[in-house]
Amino acid sequence: MVGSRWSAASPGRRRGPELERAILDAALEQLSTVGWNSLTMEGVAAGAHTGKAALYRRWPSKADLVADALRTALPPLGRIADLGSVREDLYALCVRMREVMRSRAGQALRAVLHECDHGHADRFRGLIWSGLHEPAHGLIGELVRRGIDRGDVRPDATGPLLADVIPAMMMYRAKVCGSEWADEEIAEMIDGVMVPLLRA
């Protein structure tokens, strides 16, 4: 009798990666609804339909859990297909960066940075660097080299500061000016700033 009850209940019990995904999803949901300051391990456990012990076995602190949830949920930038010109390639990259920033994880990460204390802020800023800025820098360098090979970018446009311009402008205007980066703003940045910088 006891054995039959156990075998009937066990298939619905989540373990391993399935349970971890449920916990990380619940943490992201808590961030979206109550924010960093009000997020608790108890609330995440309730959202994932598990006990607090399951969380603490995997993540020693709230910061560890939130960092993992944001890192795993942040969409990758991926690759940029050759669209025939550096202008179109960079425009496509900026649209993709905007999508990442607007994603559920991207918005949660920005909200966390506004709420958390100085000690935690450095850690979460590191997530933006590794999840968005660093991949963007690599892609911009790749697109510029593609443009040099194609002949629509000057051969000496390889300095590291050039790769900083797009991420710096997008993050600055999003954070300081509240810009949502409409399509026309992206086009204005590419046509008015990047193309003149890259062409002879």
Q: Mean of the per-residue pLDDT values for the chain?
A: 89
Decide if 2-72 and 75-198 have a common fold: yes
Contacts of 189 (CB under 8 A, 6+ apart): 94, 166, 169
Q: Which of 37-41, 59-63, 118-122 shows the lowest mean pLDDT across its residues?
A: 118-122
Decide if pLDDT at 8 tops 80.
Answer: no
**Closest by alpha carbon to 160, among 140, 190, 146, 143?**
140
**Closest by alpha carbon to 114, among 104, 105, 99, 124?**
124
Domain 75-198 coded CATH 1.10.357.10? yes
Q: Residue 169 — pLDDT band, cuts 50, 70, 90?
A: very high
What's the pLDDT score for residue 13?
62
57-72 pLDDT per residue, tens: 999 999 999 999 999 9
Is 59 in contact with 68 (CB distance < 8 Å)?
yes
Decide if pLDDT at 9 tops 80.
Answer: no
Q: Which of 36-50, 71-85, 119-133, 179-193 shows the lowest mean pLDDT across its residues?
A: 119-133
Q: Where are the domains of the chain?
A: 2-72, 75-198
Decide if pLDDT at 54 tops 70.
Answer: yes
Neighbour count for residue 17 (Cβ, 10 Å): 8
- The mean per-residue pLDDT over the stretch 20-31 comes to 95
Topology (CATH level 3) of domain 2-72:
Tetracycline Repressor; domain 2 (1.10.357)
Q: Residue 5 — pLDDT band, cuts 50, 70, 90?
A: very low
